[in-house]
Structure 1
Amino acid sequence: MFEPRVAAASLSGESDAEWALTAEPYVGCAFLGGLALGGQARAAARSLVDRERTEFLPESPIRFLDRQLSSLDAADLRPAFNVRSVDPTAIAEAATVCADHGAILEVNAHCRQSEMCDAGAGETLLRDTERLCEQVAAAAEAGPAVSVKVRAEVPGVDLPRLSRTLVDSGADALHVDAMDSEPVIAEVVSAAPEAFVIANNGVRDRRSAHRYLEHGADAVSVGRPSDDPAILKRVRDAVDGWFDDGISDPADPGVTPDA
């Protein structure tokens, strides 16, 4: 999916091409976005801006997406774009642009802001498997690699079971915000072994990166500190060390991560 197996995770309204280029020396993938697509999601994004949150609200989201990815065509990383929508047609249109640039399209089933959830996007999709799978299938049919950003510890959501269904619908990668439940990574890996699993939440150093890799994650992503080169370098060194040293058995008793 990408090498090195470190990603910079999207931060709404902040993660653009310039941000990705700053992270380029340390990551194999940068998830731009999140970008609201379609009338309902864009209205929700405007409401978020009204209460002083940061959002991307270009006049034309698809042209914005294309311009941003064009800026990364020569970059030494794999770009990805995280999108939030209610409309699978809008997802498919964005996915076509991602395919043209060799980028990953990431369906956002993660955002828990009330405005986005009330619109029927973000975390709401975790409880509506049919609509989420419809978005995943629409993206996959357009041709790019497809990731789904999901969140653990959502009441009523069996994340491993959902992960299996998402892969069956066309997802290539599962980007899992583990919250306070790191072992959920192992459960997702077991349920959907063919998926490329990216573990997210609290990745800052060797100890935190290796904890997720012990549970079988294929890669880790850095969220809020993704603009801090010192943290990105620590994580990159930790991940490179893990794979270079051949530490691949999550049950290996000899693995004792430290900071």
Structure 2
Amino acid sequence: MFDPRLALASLSGEADADWARAVESHVGCAFLGGIALDGPTREAAREMVGRDRSEFLPADPVAFVDDQLAALADAPLRPAFNVRSATLGPVERAARVCRDHDAVLEVNAHCRQDEMCAAGAGESLLRDTDRLAEFVETAAATGATVSVKGRAEVEGVSLPEVARAVESAGGDLFHVDAMDSEPVIADVVDVTDLFVVANNGVRGRETAREYLACGADAVSVGRPSDDPEILRAVRTATDEWFAEEARP
């Protein structure tokens, strides 16, 4: 899927091509975004900006996805784009753009901001696996590689069940924000063949290896994604882990 097995996790309003370029030598994948694609999610993003959240609000969000991915065409990493939408059409268009750039389209079922959930995106999709599956099926039908970003510790949500639904719908990756429930990674790995990316609190060797020991295929770094020292330590830990795994 990507190598090295270290990714940058999207940061709303911050994770663009320049952000990825700044540390491109350390990582195998960069999830840009999130980007609000349709009317309801763009209005939600405007409301969030109104209370001092950072959001990308270009005039044409799908064209923005295209331009940002084009800026990473010669980067030594696999690009990905985290998208938020309450409707299927814009996700399909963004997925086609990602496919053409050999990038990953990531459906955001992670954002827990009230405005985004009320619009029918983000964590609301995690609570409705049938709707989430529709988004995954729509994106996968374009030929794009499809990821879902979700989080643990959501009341009434079983991440292993979500993983099964994502896989059945044609998804390829499950990007799991484990919150304070690291063992949930093992629970997900046990029930699916999806490529599992573990996120939350990855800061160095110990935290990276904890997730890898649970069966994660890769780890991602969020807030410290602009810190080369942290990325270097995590990269070393993942390289060593998979080198050890490959030994007879």
Report the TM range for the smaller structure's normalisation. Answer: over 0.9
Does the residue aligned with 1:245 lie in a helix, a strand or coil? helix
Does the residue aligned with 2:141 lie in a helix, a strand or coil? helix
Q: How does 1:1-259 map to 2 (within 5 A)?
A: 1-192=1-192, 194-246=193-245
In the aligned structure 2, how far is the partner of 1:120 from the partner of 1:246? Answer: 41
Does the residue aligned with 2:25 lie in a helix, a strand or coil? coil
In the aligned structure 2, how far is the partner of 1:134 from the partner of 1:159? Answer: 17
How big is each residue's C-alpha offset from its partner over 1:47-77, in whole Å with a ceiling of 9 and x where there is no partner? Answer: 0101111000000001111000000011100
In the aligned structure 2, how far is the partner of 1:68 from the partner of 1:160? Answer: 32
Percentage identity across paired residues of the two chains = 62
How big is each residue's C-alpha offset from its partner over 1:210-241, in whole Å with a ceiling of 9 and x where there is no partner? Answer: 00000000000000000111111010011011
In the aligned structure 2, how far is the partner of 1:135 from the partner of 1:90? Answer: 10
Q: Which amino acid aligns with 2:127?
A: R
In the aligned structure 2, how far is the partner of 1:129 from the partner of 1:96? Answer: 23
Shift of residue 89 of structure 1? Answer: 1.1
Q: TM-score, normalised by structure 1?
A: 0.94
Aligned length: 247
In the aligned structure 1, how far is the partner of 2:63 from the partner of 2:246? Answer: 43
In the aligned structure 1, how far is the partner of 2:63 from the partner of 2:161? Answer: 36
Please say if residues 12 and 34 of structure 1, whose CA atoms lie closer than 8 Å, have aligned partners that are also in contact: yes
Does the residue aligned with 1:142 lie in a helix, a strand or coil? coil
Q: Which amino acid aligns with 1:227?
A: D
In the aligned structure 2, how far is the partner of 1:92 from the partner of 1:24? Answer: 28
In the aligned structure 1, how far is the partner of 2:245 from the partner of 2:119? Answer: 45
Shift of residue 142 of structure 1? Answer: 1.1
- Unaligned stretches of 5+ in structure 2? none
Shift of residue 246 of structure 1? Answer: 2.3
Please say if residues 145 and 171 of structure 1, whose CA atoms lie closer than 8 Å, have aligned partners that are also in contact: yes
Q: Which amino acid aligns with 1:134?
A: E
Q: Which amino acid aligns with 2:173?
A: A
In the aligned structure 2, how far is the partner of 1:39 from the partner of 1:191? Answer: 36
Does the residue aligned with 2:89 lie in a helix, a strand or coil? helix
In the aligned structure 1, how far is the partner of 2:145 from the partner of 2:182? Answer: 25
- Unaligned stretches of 5+ in structure 1? 249-259
How big is each residue's C-alpha offset from its partner over 1:62-95, in whole Å with a ceiling of 9 and x where there is no partner? Answer: 1111000000011100000000010111100000
Please say if residues 8 and 23 of structure 1, whose CA atoms lie closer than 8 Å, have aligned partners that are also in contact: no
Shift of residue 247 of structure 1? Answer: 7.4
In the aligned structure 1, how far is the partner of 2:199 from the partner of 2:246? Answer: 20
